[in-house]
Amino acid sequence: MRTIHGKTIIITGASSGFGEATALACAAAGANVSLVARRKAELERVARLARQAGGRALVCPADVSDDGQILAAVDRTRAEFGAIDVLFNNAGTNMSARSIADTTPEQWRWLMDVNLTSAFVFTRAVLDEMKTRGEGLIINLASQAGVRPSLLAGVSYSASKLGMDALTRVTNEEGNPHGVRACLFNPGLGNTPIIENRGTPFSHEQRANMIQSEDIAATVVFLCSLPPRVNIDLISMLPTQK
């Protein structure tokens, strides 16, 4: 296993849930973490914890539905830490409209921008540099909703997560000959703030049986620690208790 000490990792959606836990786990392993999300105060809180854990941390407030803000975050990361070793495309959201009938084209486009186009724009911003260096890892956090699209998850959310599959496959096709690897990471239900938007609240016991943020974080640290000859292109993570 390789150490991730000194590696530079961009983590989108780092202000809570999976992204926050991953930032702290990477920082504890000595990585430089670049933290991207909209809520600056939350990013600053995570950055303080990341520095206490032993890593260097940079706060990059950005709305990932805005290409310009994405490119600015990548530029700031390079200026602070140098070349980017790992990109964790994790930012994502959902909305109350789930059916085709209830979803407006504007809502569909917005969710695609946040959940899918952002990952494409981030990938495009780092891929050339990774190919030139002959190494790089891109982890696309999608969902079981992309494997089994449903009304429960919603038409826009399911389509955006299924799109991450195509983005990951093409990233591998384009990147593998140059040493760049991409992983599609599909978790099932996780105990994070995003599930508070579901209609019925979950009990304490139900939440305890879900995937926890630290499970995602440990998996990302593991992926980052593998030698460049190994490409884990797909991870399916399910709660044991359904």
Catalytic sites, residue numbers: 157
Work out whether 34 is an interface residue with ligand NAP (CB under 6 A): no
Work out whether 25 is an interface residue with ligand NAP (CB under 6 A): no
Beta carbon nearer to ligand NAP, 55 or 190: 190
Binding to ligand NAP (CB under 6 A) within 122-151 occurs at 141, 143
- Piece of the chain touching ligand NAP by CB under 6 A; list 15-23, 27-35, 52-60, 174-182: 15-23
- Piece of the chain touching ligand NAP by CB under 6 A; list 119-127, 166-174, 183-191, 198-206: 183-191
Beta carbon nearer to ligand NAP, 49 or 194: 194
Residue among 10, 18, 103, 235 that touches ligand NAP (CB under 6 A) = 18
HEC profile for the chain? Answer: CCCCCCCEEEEECCCCHHHHHHHHHHHHCCCEEEEEECCHHHHHHHHHHHHHHCCEEEEEECCCCCHHHHHHHHHHHHHHHCCCCEEEECCCCCCCCCCCCCCCHHHHHHHHHHHHHHHHHHHHHHHHHHHHHCCEEEEEECCHHHCCCCCCCCHHHHHHHHHHHHHHHHHHHHHHHHCEEEEEEEECCECCHHHHHCCCCCCHHHHHHCECHHHHHHHHHHHHHCCCCCCCCEEEECCCCC
Distance separating alpha carbons of residues 61 and 202, to the nearest angstrom: 31
- Piece of the chain touching ligand NAP by CB under 6 A; list 125-133, 173-181, 193-201, 220-228: 193-201
- Piece of the chain touching ligand NAP by CB under 6 A; list 17-25, 128-136, 168-176, 221-229: 17-25
Binding mask 51-70 for ligand NAP (x = CB under 6 A): ------------xxx-----
Beta carbon nearer to ligand NAP, 17 or 55: 17
Distance separating alpha carbons of residues 58 and 53, to the nearest angstrom: 14
Distance separating alpha carbons of residues 146 and 10, to the nearest angstrom: 23
Binding to ligand NAP (CB under 6 A) within 102-121 occurs at 114
Work out whether 187 is an interface residue with ligand NAP (CB under 6 A): yes
Residue from 45, 60, 12, 11 nearest 31 by CA: 11
Work out whether 49 is an interface residue with ligand NAP (CB under 6 A): no
- Interacting residues toward ligand NAP by CB under 6 A: 13-19, 37-39, 42, 63-65, 90-93, 114, 141, 143, 187, 189-190, 192-195
